[in-house]
Amino acid sequence: MPDTRRLLKERIAGTAMLVLTAVSILLTAAIGIGLYIRSEPLLARHSLGSLLTSSVWKPMKGEFGFFPFIMGTLWVTCLALFIALPLSLLSAIYLSEYAAPRIRRMVVPIVDLLSGIPPVVYGVWGVLFVVPLIQRSAGTDVTHFTSGYSVLAGAIVLAVMIFPLLISILFEVFSGVPLEMKNASLSLGATQWQTIKFVLLKKSAPGILAATALAVSRSFGETIAVLMVCGNMPLAPHAVTDACYPLPALIANNYGEMLSVPMYDSALLFAAFILFVIIFLFNLLSRIVLARIEKNLV
């Protein structure tokens, strides 16, 4: 009788987890389908190619070119990753391989706490410190004046925001490398840095890629902080000191205010659909890589 009850509880628990998993998958699919359906009026009037490649943004005339917004998003995200990834990688290596246990116990919780700081706080810091610094440094050139509200400002703020995420994930990845492998390398005469380079980094390469994919997903969807420092001009940037207008900022700035303009609602939801697809693909990539890591560690 006890065995029957135990088997029944296990079956109920398994069924419940299956249902919850299916609900989460269906909810994600419903969001994507809903955004696509709301975007259909725009897609029926304009081809997908023209929407993605046109630079003309005149909502009052029914012209919606998303190329400047896509490029602004890519510029800010790629530059933020270029700034954040090397520093986060070196920080995680220090914490996992060089830091004393006392320092590690103190720093790791602080890094985790930094992830909980509201994005608007980073945005205010960017407006008060990063933007004036860029204006003073790059705005003196009369041939290329900048107000400081630029791709570079957005990238710096975004890089600081994703530091805790990257450091935390990379630290866990490095900590998962078997100690025996590192000891074997050291016993053969390799230096600490050679062991890190040829053992730690090589073994952790899939995890580094997964952490990067998760950071990119976070960067693509960030809104408030980037909105506050990028300048919000619907022009494709050509330099890091140019203003830009990322897709999340476009949605946050206009949704609910300009919906009386024909097709504007559909255009903003199409922007949300583009972000949804990009973030979904990067998250899917990170899940695949993490599954590969778990398989290799078994």
Q: What is the pLDDT of residues 185-231, one digit of tens each?
A: 888 887 888 888 888 888 888 788 878 887 887 788 777 788 888 88
Q: Which two tokens stand for residue 143?
A: 């041939």
Q: Does residue 11 sit within a domain? A: no
Number of domains making up the chain: 1
pLDDT band at 285 (very low <50, low <70, confident <90, very high): confident
pLDDT band at 142 (very low <50, low <70, confident <90, very high): very low
Q: Which two tokens stand for residue 156?
A: 């710096």
Q: Does residue 224 sit within a domain? A: yes
Q: What is the mean pLDDT of residues 273-294?
A: 77
- Amino acid, res. 189: G
Domain that holds residue 173: 67-297
Q: Does residue 14 sit within a domain? A: no
- Cβ–Cβ < 8 Å for 158, 219: yes
Asked whether the predicted pLDDT for residue 116 surpasses 60, the reply is: yes
Helix, strand, coil share (%) of the chain residues, nearest 5: 80, 0, 20
pLDDT at 298: 55
Q: Does residue 189 sit within a domain? A: yes
Q: Does residue 26 sit within a domain? A: no
Q: Does residue 133 sit within a domain? A: yes
Q: Does residue 113 sit within a domain? A: yes
CATH code where residue 159 lies: 1.10.3720.10
Q: Does residue 87 sit within a domain? A: yes
Element (H, E) at 291: helix 264-297
Could you tell me the pTM of the whole model?
0.83
Burial of 271 (0-12, 13-18, 19+ CB in 10 A): buried
- Phi, psi (degrees; rounded to nearest 5) at 190: -70, 145
